[in-house]
A and B are shown apart, each in its own frame.
Chain A
Amino acid sequence: MALLTLKNLSLGYDSHVIVENLNLTVNTGQYLCIVGENGSGKTTLMKTLLHLQEPVSGQILMGDGLKKNEIGYLPQQTIIQKDFPASVREVVLSGCQGRCGLRPFYNKAEKQLAEDNMSRMGISRLRNSCYRELSGGQQQRVLLARALCATRKILLLDEPVSGLDPIVTAEMYSLISDLNREGITIIMISHDIPAAVQFASHILHIGETTFYGTKNEYLNSDTGKFFLMQQSHDASRTSALRRTEWNWKGGECYV
């Protein structure tokens, strides 16, 4: 079933178009990774999908009974949150806001939902801790639990692993894969093309060339081959650089 359909969608700011004529359908249960260079319009696409900004032209159609406010969203962290005095429970509960309608307070079902999602993310014991004092990985789990309160169907993740160490990054990826297996459709922005290829079922590559298809199609496409090669090339180059740096530092030590 098509959860989201983009029809001739063009994106951009103030009539300045970044991405043109995007056509794709996202089906229930897919794990879609959006990759591309900085400034290629990944975040703009996500904001448009969330109705935070209007598309320049074209349409976003929602299927499968998905409502506008039923999209779970894991944003990048803001500066405000760095010193915000909020307990984990308060943050997670605020994900239920969209369900309240005109009701001013949360009801029992919503409070239970927040509890359930906290235990799903393994943060129940942190429920009364202060959000700003958690580690980066724990904070992402809190925000993920909040996003899960807002949706049962689809999650949009904006670079969920940026700034996390490799171990926590791996945990985060497996957490997201688990959610996907439970039937939640995932749309994720990522810089990390190797990880995207490892976990996603579909890839959308935007930039000079736009590509949309399954993971295997991407691996066999020219765009995919080119970028994967470049990233692995980059990776080996940085590790080589790091080695020389080490040697150099080591040399200085001996002097």
Chain B
Amino acid sequence: MFDKLGLYLQYPFVQYALIVGVLIALCSSLLGVTLVLKRFSFIGDGLSHVAFGVMSVAAVLNLTNQMMLVLPVTVICAVLLMKTGKNAKIKGDAAIAMISVGALAFGYLLMNIFSTSSNLSGDVCSTLFGSTSILTLTQKEVWLCTVLSIAVVIIFVLFYNRIFAVTFDENFARATGTNVNAYNLLIAVIIAVIIVLAMNLVGSLLISALVIFPALSAMRLFRNFRSVTVCSAVLSVICAFSGIIISILAGTPVGSTIVAVDVAAFAVCYVTGMVTGGAAI
């Protein structure tokens, strides 16, 4: 088994997949804690469906560089969703559900009507579940992903205290002079970037799992914000790494294998949390 693994690890596409997978898992887990606590667990799902819809528009328009269209539209949707969080006529979860389902339907509709490929359901399936795209990454995409991930981590560390303050108590933060709107905007933009990146890895249906599972698992074990954040990042990286390795060895789809490992990790953390009573600090 280790020989087989060693052999596979020599291929650049496997190395790329591991690098990108681990980086994306790290980024998505960092903001996961904030999103779960702000009751935005489903924003990953909603935004990734938006990205799916926009991608099919891009495909219909025959754009060569889909990113140029997908990224800005997703960012705008993220900003709108986070903004409507509190005082909107349509509340957060309903707004996310609306956008998510709407974008999914339109995306599929467009792909169906203007289909250029012979294997439509295969195309849809791979965009939704990201079945193979992680194994076909180019060196340029790996660089882009690396740079963006490092940027996300640096921004998160620099603004860690502010993100905590804004998540814990928005009104207090605002009253003591923190520019809450700017940080909410920042969080929205980062999450949109992560989701567009992560679509390559697990596809749009499974992104929510990357965002919420590590955070929820960590919250079973720890009871302060810093430990939860660090733990969720570590867990997410371990799960993504082992998920990719397992999928290579067992020949299973990458995205769903990673999510399955995340679910297993959550179960372990849940039981551990029950046994220790969340006693760990």
Contact = CB atoms under 8 A, between A and B. Distances in A.
B56 to A, nearest CB: 36
Interface in A81-119: 81, 83-87, 90-91, 93-95, 97-98, 100, 104-106
Interface in A3-19: none
Nearest to B221: A85
Contact of B162 (A85, A93, A97): A97
A73 B177 contact: no
B118 interface: no
Secondary structure call for the B interface: helix
B246 interface: no
Contact of A91 (B38, B168, B177): B168
B178 A90 contact: no
B165 interface: yes
Given A68-B177, A73-B175, A146-B172, A90 B225 contact: yes
Which of A68, A94, A95, A106 counts the most chain B CB atoms within 10 A? A94
Contacts of A133: 223
A167 interface: no
Interface residues of B, number: 31
Contacts of B161: 93-94, 97, 100, 104-106
A238 to B, nearest CB: 32
A52 B171 contact: yes
A180 to B, nearest CB: 20
Contacts of B164: 86, 90, 94
Which of A95, A97, A130, A150 counts the most chain B CB atoms within 10 A? A97
A98 B177 contact: yes
B62 interface: no
B37 A83 contact: yes
A87 B224 CA distance: 5
9 contacts: A81-B168, A85-B219, A85-B224, A86-B224, A86-B225, A90-B224, A98-B178, A104-B161, A128-B281
Given A80-B168, A94-B168, A150-B175, 7 more contacts: A69-B176, A71-B175, A73-B176, A83-B37, A84-B225, A105-B161, A133-B223
